[in-house]
Structure 1
Amino acid sequence: MQETMDDTYDPISLEALAGLPGEETLVLTVNNRLARRILAELSRGLDARRQVMAVPAIVPLGAWLRQAAEQLSFDADAGSAAHVLDAFGARQLWRQVIQAAEAEHVLLDTAQAARLAYEADWLMSDWRIVVAEGLETPEYLRFRTWRKRYRELLDSLDAEDENLSCERVMQAVLDGGMALPARTLVLAGFNEFSPRLALLLRALREQGMDVLQLREPRPAAVDVVRVLADEPDAEWRLAARWAVDCMNRDPQGRYAIVSPRLQDDVVLARRVMHVELASPDAAAPLACNIAVGRPLRDWPVARAALAWLDVLADYARGADCGPQQLGQALLAGHCAGGGAEAAARAALDARWRRTRRLRLPAAQFGGELGQYAPLLATAWGAALDAARACPGAAACDAWMRQFRHMLRALGFPGDGALDSGAYQAMEALDAAFDRLAGLSAALGPQDFRSALGLLEQLLAETAFQPQRDPAARLDVLGLLEAEGGRWDGVWVLGLDDEVLPAAPRPNPLIPLAALRRAGAPRATPERELQWAAELYADLLCSGPQVRISHAQRAGERELRPSPFIAELPARSLNVCSPEPGPADMESLVDDRGPGLAAGSVTRGGSALLDTQSRNPLWAYVKYRLGAVQLDGYAELADLNARGNFLHRALEVAWGTMGSHEALCRLAGDGGLAALVDESLNQAADDCLQAYGPALRALEIERARKVLKDWLELERQRQPFRVLGREDEQRWSYETLELSLRLDRVDELEDGSRMIIDYKSGAGRLDPKSSWTRSRPVDLQLPLYAAVVGGEGARVAALALVRLHARQVEAKGLAEGDIGLAGLNGLQDWPECAGLSWDDLLRRWRAAVEQLAGEYAAGIARNEFLRRDDMKYCDVLPFLRLEEEEPGHAGQGA
């Protein structure tokens, strides 16, 4: 059972502690934060009369135990192991043991099991848990097997973990084999002692050491108010505004905002603090410290190191890298030419996205670096040479030296000055390298990729937070960090019944009955209630003014107050901004930019006019300003590859046949299947180079059916011959020059033409709704028919052809019957009632010229006719359509 500290050790005040001989006193704390605070409090005692003080050693308990274990390692009779593993190294060994023991359980999460086993091992020793016969659970029996093999593995490696190291220190104290660390031991921040710690302290006291408890005066708050908020966001804003008001009233005061869910709410907390602390009502610039550590892996300097090492690992073993992998490294920077070539590296990444690159060999990557970023290219060559010179397998300490060498060759961490946070992150990264190097004996030889994986895992499990800003008078911290603190005012938010008391979380590898009997933490509702009561009592003593709040709902879920605050009178507060004073309103319609300059030529495709028709501002932003959404990285199963493959296969097939007559002849002679196969293989060679044999065969098989179905529809047409395949046409209008690439142009029996556009997607084909609007869209075929085609032979039919495995069909419009199912005549479209074919072409020509004129004149209205028109908009954030009110121009033209 745990031993409480009340009435166990004599109390001592902070003033009395300052009077003890510093060299004969040791202060043990529960964490680093409390150790720093006690040191700061003692330093405040220095003044003009007392300028020097012998400060006692003030260290957390865990750090002192490690120091004691290191001291014992110099004693040949202490039985010290050659290697001491930290928590990360111990979990790696647990993982090895569990993987070997549970090889048949392939779905077991070994990383989670290793973490639980590590915690269970510590609990069993620290709380002296004994599992009686008959209480064993299947999980405990497996853990007992793992634990036995884990200890055997440690023995074979001549290693010990922190748990065994603590046992060795305690045994040395019990046996009298370790010199007392000081004459007086002062305990700070402990609410209870585990049985192992209680035994250690009892042994120290029995050997003549004075053990005292630091007890500072902590009067209870005189101003306690419970506040209700509507939502968690509003609760944060209320707390932040309270803190700003308090600091404005008391320029010397120190305040705190305490959140039980700070780790989850850190993004919201940073956003609210940034807004409220920058309030113009503040009397002076305000700052805060948010006590949340992020994984070191997420900090830019560490992220850059991992990204570059990841690229080097693949290139060193002769593999190619993907653009996304390379792009992450280029954009992360922290390399040679870091600032000077940042834009060039970003341009290279954008180019790979735009050109749909799948893989880049090392030589090609180096060549493109030389073209875009020559400073980085030189450093990259040296780093790659160093990576290729690495051995196949080596110990972790050797890999850490190699990693440092490669990064230095690359120019890491860059040529710019690091700010304070980045500098501290760099120091933490360097310490992580040393930490992993120290685990060489336990982890054994590793190859490049596995050593990098271990480093990434260590950085993911290592929390990092820059040092506290000493000028900040506001702390934002969690419940545990706030324990034992003292401020001039504290706001504790989020105290609902899901937080205090929290639900118990017993370790599943130890039987619950054994945990309950030992009184282990987090194991039972009674223990959680006890801990919550002590914590709540401590919060009420954290300052003279305490505000306690909780939200009434989170989304659709109602929240109830913690039972500790349910009886307090509640005050409801709303987040509201001060009423703005009257202001003169002026409305400005800014929907037109500069027109195209005379004498200049702007080039584009039919998509330019299509975009102008859908939303003029979209066209202006994309084609005049050059702003467009960054393309995603290409994937192997990219549908564009399939579409290009089908287009190319039909281009090859019709290049061989050339006419309806040849198609019918081949079909009658049985040679059509061979032609299709030949066309598909040639198209696959051109378009599916990145596909493996199996995927290539599947795509060819799918396309064979699609082409067969389409060519069967083509056989039913009236005679024609193919005039053009993938031909490019141009059309000019004033200072605008457009280019059109047509999938296919056929010549019909009467000399007129039919334009075909292939569609490989499964989307809806609806040319009627697109072409009959006052501002038509999907303009490529109407543009050719009305403008480009009008300069030569007459265009008499327009067809959109879906080439899909589910359905092959044609949709479109024809002046007369050409024998292709799916094409309509003008009489079939009510919107074209009373129009002749020439009338329709004139209407299209007028619409096209109107759109071209709008674009040339700089018309940039932010409006659209239908919501579907914006489905594939690639500048949506710029248009900010979500801010438009219903009925505004954004809702329709």
Structure 2
Amino acid sequence: MQDASLSYPELSLPDIAGMPASDTLVLTVNNRLSRRLTLELAGLLRQERQVSELPRILPLSAWLAESANELAFETDDDVPAYRLDSFATQLVWTEAIRAEEAERVLLDASQAARLAMDADLLMDEWALQVPSGADTDEYRGFARWRARYRQVLAGIDAEDANQGYARVLRALEEGRLATPRQLVLAGFTDISPRFQRLLQAFEAQGTDVAQWRDAQRVQAEARRYEAADQGAEWRAAATWAASQLKAHPDGRYAIVSPQLEAESPFARRVLSHALAGRDGEPAFAFNVAVGRPLDEWPMARAALAWLRALAECAPDKGCGVDVLGAALLAGHCASDVRDRARLAAIDARWRRQGQLHVGPAELRRLLADIPALAQAWNQAMQIWTQGGRQATCDVWMLRMKAALTALGFPGEAALDSVGYQVMGALGDALGSFSALAPAAGRLGGVAAVSLLESVARSSSFQPQRDPLARLDVLGLLEAEGGYWDGVWMLGLTDDVLPASPKPNPLLPLAVLRQARAPRATPEREREWAEGMYAALCRCAPQLIVSHAHMDGERELRPSPLIAALALSDWTPDQALAHRALPQESLDDSRGPPLAAGNRGGGGLDVLDTQARNPLWAFVRHRLGGRELAPYADAATVNVRGQFLHKALELAWGMMPDQETLHELLADGRLAALLAQAVAQAADEELKEYAPALRALECQRAQAVLASWLDLEAQRLPFAVAQVEKNHQWQRGALSLKLRLDRIDSLPDGRSVIVDYKTGVAAAKPEPDWSRSRPVNVQLPFYASVLADAAGGEAAGLVLAQIHARQVAAQGLADEDLGIPGVTLASESKYFDGLSWPEIRQRWRVAIEALADEYVAGYAANVAYRRDDLKYCDALPFLRLHLDDEDA
């Protein structure tokens, strides 16, 4: 399809200004170009000191929507009652596809709906005809979906934007729409068959069609810059922008990136550093034209969290703590500023205690200390439950607004400009949600909130640009039609511009290729890229285009559109690019010593974290800083582990020694004993489990414990001396509370210490135990430091792996215990030939040294091994990776 706009006369902006405004319509390709032409035309009239009405200047999509609204006032029976927005359109497509594929497996109906929407638009926009024999299985499936979708629309008396376009086009061809005397096209380089029909309809009604010529802007001669990598490319662009803003106080500049959405976090960091004020100079503001989903903005997220809590909390049954906790943490409610700490403390307590559910009585008790929120919650719950459980979206919308108002939303704090804008965007989202009434039907409260969450997730929000900012950071499409004093376009590699074709998989490729539909072929992508690049080259008189040479180990090539350009001689100002911000350095690896009589005790985790990273130990155990624990889950591994521990404790309480175990095996009574122990443990530990899941866990536990006891029966003789016994250890100001899983006594009076591991198989413990700063020191601690208190000299340490995948043992011992997997100390390659007493003494010295470090306040931020911080819950505080480019 050739560029049809070439056949129309060209008009300049002064030509448009001289036309009668009331009889002139200017259609643009996007909103940005509409705003630009409006401002430039108004400025031109001011220069000529004219007070004159401006012609209508609006995007094609806005004109189609206005025209469809005009047709709604006709007495035509074909006018639908509802017009669906894009979200409602996708919702109807999704339900239509699910209904059509009810007897087939479809992995992602939402993704299929997006593809179907695009295919439906392509079919109409490009007048695609699929002849017999050219259809594919995918197209035949799409044809069924399309027929079902149209039936659903007819059933709810609605139309989408695509059908609205067709209705406007028919009305224009039939002379039922008022037309201007002059139509001017601005920015259209890709004329589809349907748009061509629209222009022909205008001409048939006596309208003169012309195209706007940007006579004031000529294509700039670009200079090419090659950076070592993508990070260096962004830093170079940021340095260029800083130098231009400083040298030209009245200039406006832009950085354009084809992949801005993915790169925006890194771009903001680089630009914030490059444009920061130094030595008394003011900082330069900048705008990044990347919106985020509305549900990611804190205020909107809070509103959705409270609505979710209202929907899921039954007045007589309570609610899950994860739902209520999310609302309490989100705030933006009554008393959220005065009682912020109390709200967070409630949620932290639920997480720490592993609580799953909170009843209405407990919730009233917790909120009694926050009377303002308690009253607001009761009022909101009363509003939510009025009018029944099922309602349409428009009714739910009114209920949601009233409930949020009762809760005190948006909170006690004064709103800033962004806050007011988020409130407006949330109101728009509620309006869009209300408009879904005909498509969604009657919904329950939970389903209504889920649908609103989907609306917010699909709604992109970006605060209004800072009017004082002279630097804009945009994507390719956002930059088209703009104008600046200088533009830097980066990321122009051969896989970005032109991009690889992405034809719609639901339509036959041969049909798309023949129609020259967008994204269908490499030739079409090249044509689009050339047009886009040419348009961007008219955005500024000064233009730098750049690309990176490497992406990790992958070599990159410049886009063929810029490959022939000569390399620029521009280089970053090293002083500006690398000048460090003023810093104050303090080398402090020690905190205050642990005071006597302190309450900062704990378990062996104190020594374990001290060995891995002393600052982690200080933050976690001295400051109490750690990430929030996840909400409890009825089927977590931790609950399983507690259950198996309890079952083993009960079983060994009924078996004092190995001899009894042998007797039970010989008499066939062991299975009954295990069943009794497992049932009693389940009553205590699996209260929250569903009956079916609880039965499965009990069955699994009996099989796992039977396998473990078979292994225990093959050991050398032993008696069980202690089961799940608590101990306390004091060293200086440090007091640790410990709990032993089990201690066995041997005939010679020595002991074997057993620790149960109910997770998946772990690595051999000897590498951890042999380090100069040993980790996972529970068993070495018992064998060396607590030897006397734990039941005499330890002869061996056994890690019992008790899991459905594997029942086995690992450990270290002074003599052969008859347990496969337990290594003799004299044969271990990790202890350099040390004897068992020497190993125990080495552990004692290392463990006491770690304790003394902790008491003295030693808190160096040192990670001795990378894996030591794999499960660290204070990584943001340690800040060990600030130099990473992607951090």
Aligned partners of 1:658 and 1:722 also within 8 Å = yes
Aligned partner letter, 1:33: R
Cα distance in 2 for residues equivalent to 1:125 and 1:718: 82
Matches within 5 A, 1:330-349: 330-349=328-347
Cα distance in 1 for residues equivalent to 2:585 and 2:265: 36
Q: Structure 1 106/766 Cα, relative in aligned 2: closer, same or farther at 3 Å? A: closer
**Aligned residue for 1:116?**
115
Aligned partner letter, 2:501: P
1:257: how far off? 1.4
**Aligned residue for 1:41?**
40
Aligned partners of 2:28 and 2:59 also within 8 Å = yes
**1:778-812 deviation digits (Å, cap 9, x = unpaired):** 44455455555536963344532404242333634
Cα distance in 1 for residues equivalent to 2:70 and 2:229: 54
Aligned partners of 1:483 and 1:539 also within 8 Å = yes
Cα distance in 2 for residues equivalent to 1:166 and 1:834: 85
1:177: how far off? 2.4
Q: Structure 1 62/297 Cα, relative in aligned 2: closer, same or farther at 3 Å? A: same
Cα distance in 1 for residues equivalent to 2:367 and 2:572: 56
The range that moved more, 451-460 or 253-262, is: 451-460
Cα distance in 1 for residues equivalent to 2:434 and 2:23: 36
**1:24-49 deviation digits (Å, cap 9, x = unpaired):** 43332222212222222233346598
**Aligned residue for 1:30?**
29
Matches within 5 A, 1:365-380: 366-367=363-364, 369-370=366-367, 374-380=371-377
Q: Structure 1 343/22 Cα, relative in aligned 2: closer, same or farther at 3 Å? A: farther
Matched, 1:398 2:395: yes
Q: Structure 1 246/761 Cα, relative in aligned 2: closer, same or farther at 3 Å? A: same
1:647: how far off? 1.6
**Aligned residue for 2:734?**
736
**Aligned residue for 1:811?**
811
1:223: how far off? 4.7
Q: Structure 1 856/99 Cα, relative in aligned 2: closer, same or farther at 3 Å? A: closer
1:378: how far off? 3.3
**Aligned residue for 1:642?**
640
Matches within 5 A, 1:698-713: 698-712=696-710
Cα distance in 2 for residues equivalent to 1:303 and 1:564: 43
**Aligned residue for 1:4?**
4
Aligned partners of 1:95 and 1:114 also within 8 Å = yes
1:252: how far off? 0.9
Q: Structure 1 320/556 Cα, relative in aligned 2: closer, same or farther at 3 Å? A: farther
Aligned partner letter, 2:852: G
Aligned partner letter, 1:393: Q
Matched, 1:468 2:465: yes
**Aligned residue for 2:527?**
530
Aligned partners of 1:366 and 1:377 also within 8 Å = no
**Aligned residue for 1:853?**
852
Aligned partners of 1:826 and 1:832 also within 8 Å = no
Matches within 5 A, 1:412-811: 412-571=409-568, 577-578=574-575, 590-598=588-596, 600=598, 602-660=600-658, 662-712=660-710, 714-715=712-713, 722-746=720-744, 755-764=753-762, 775-784=773-782, 786-788=784-786, 790=788, 794-805=792-803, 806-809=806-809, 811=811
The range that moved more, 124-133 or 417-426, is: 124-133
**Aligned residue for 2:348?**
350
Aligned partners of 2:318 and 2:360 also within 8 Å = no
Q: Structure 1 512/631 Cα, relative in aligned 2: closer, same or farther at 3 Å? A: same
1:351: how far off? 2.9
Cα distance in 2 for residues equivalent to 1:479 and 1:606: 56
Aligned partners of 1:550 and 1:561 also within 8 Å = yes
The range that moved more, 94-103 or 573-582, is: 573-582
1:251: how far off? 0.9
The range that moved more, 452-461 or 826-835, is: 826-835
**Aligned residue for 1:204?**
202
TM-score, structure 1 normalization? 0.88
Aligned partner letter, 2:161: E
Cα distance in 1 for residues equivalent to 2:583 and 2:75: 86
**1:833-880 deviation digits (Å, cap 9, x = unpaired):** 78685x776665555544433322223344576666555444445445
| Secondary structure of 2:171 counterpart | helix
1:683: how far off? 0.8
Equivalent position to 2:267, from 266, 269, 273:
269
Cα distance in 2 for residues equivalent to 1:586 and 1:188: 55
**1:192-220 deviation digits (Å, cap 9, x = unpaired):** 43333333333334434443433232433
Q: Structure 1 884/727 Cα, relative in aligned 2: closer, same or farther at 3 Å? A: farther
1:450: how far off? 3.1
Aligned partners of 1:89 and 1:439 also within 8 Å = yes
Aligned partners of 1:234 and 1:575 also within 8 Å = no
Cα distance in 1 for residues equivalent to 2:883 and 2:560: 45
Q: Structure 1 488/675 Cα, relative in aligned 2: closer, same or farther at 3 Å? A: same
Matched, 1:91 2:53: no
Cα distance in 2 for residues equivalent to 1:766 and 1:176: 84
The range that moved more, 127-136 or 475-484, is: 127-136
1:458: how far off? 2.4
1:82: how far off? 2.0
1:762: how far off? 4.3
Q: Structure 1 372/243 Cα, relative in aligned 2: closer, same or farther at 3 Å? A: farther
1:272: how far off? 2.1
**1:530-576 deviation digits (Å, cap 9, x = unpaired):** 32222222222221111111122222222222222221112477768
| Secondary structure of 1:308 counterpart | helix
Aligned partners of 1:229 and 1:572 also within 8 Å = no
| Secondary structure of 1:35 counterpart | helix
Cα distance in 2 for residues equivalent to 1:82 and 1:132: 34
Cα distance in 1 for residues equivalent to 2:535 and 2:582: 53
1:763: how far off? 4.5
Matches within 5 A, 1:144-159: 144-159=143-158
1:663: how far off? 4.0
Aligned partner letter, 2:201: A
Give percent identity, aligned residues only. Answer: 48
| Secondary structure of 2:6 counterpart | coil
Q: Structure 1 677/5 Cα, relative in aligned 2: closer, same or farther at 3 Å? A: same
Matches within 5 A, 1:800-879: 800-805=798-803, 806-809=806-809, 811-813=811-813, 846-863=845-862, 870-879=869-878
1:306: how far off? 2.5
Aligned partners of 2:743 and 2:790 also within 8 Å = no
Matched, 1:384 2:378: no
**Aligned residue for 2:406?**
409
Cα distance in 2 for residues equivalent to 1:516 and 1:867: 53
**1:223-261 deviation digits (Å, cap 9, x = unpaired):** 521111121222122112112211111111111112222
State how many pairs are aligned.
880
Aligned partners of 1:288 and 1:472 also within 8 Å = yes
Matches within 5 A, 1:141-180: 141-180=140-179
Aligned partners of 1:228 and 1:573 also within 8 Å = no
**Aligned residue for 2:65?**
66
The range that moved more, 759-768 or 256-265, is: 759-768
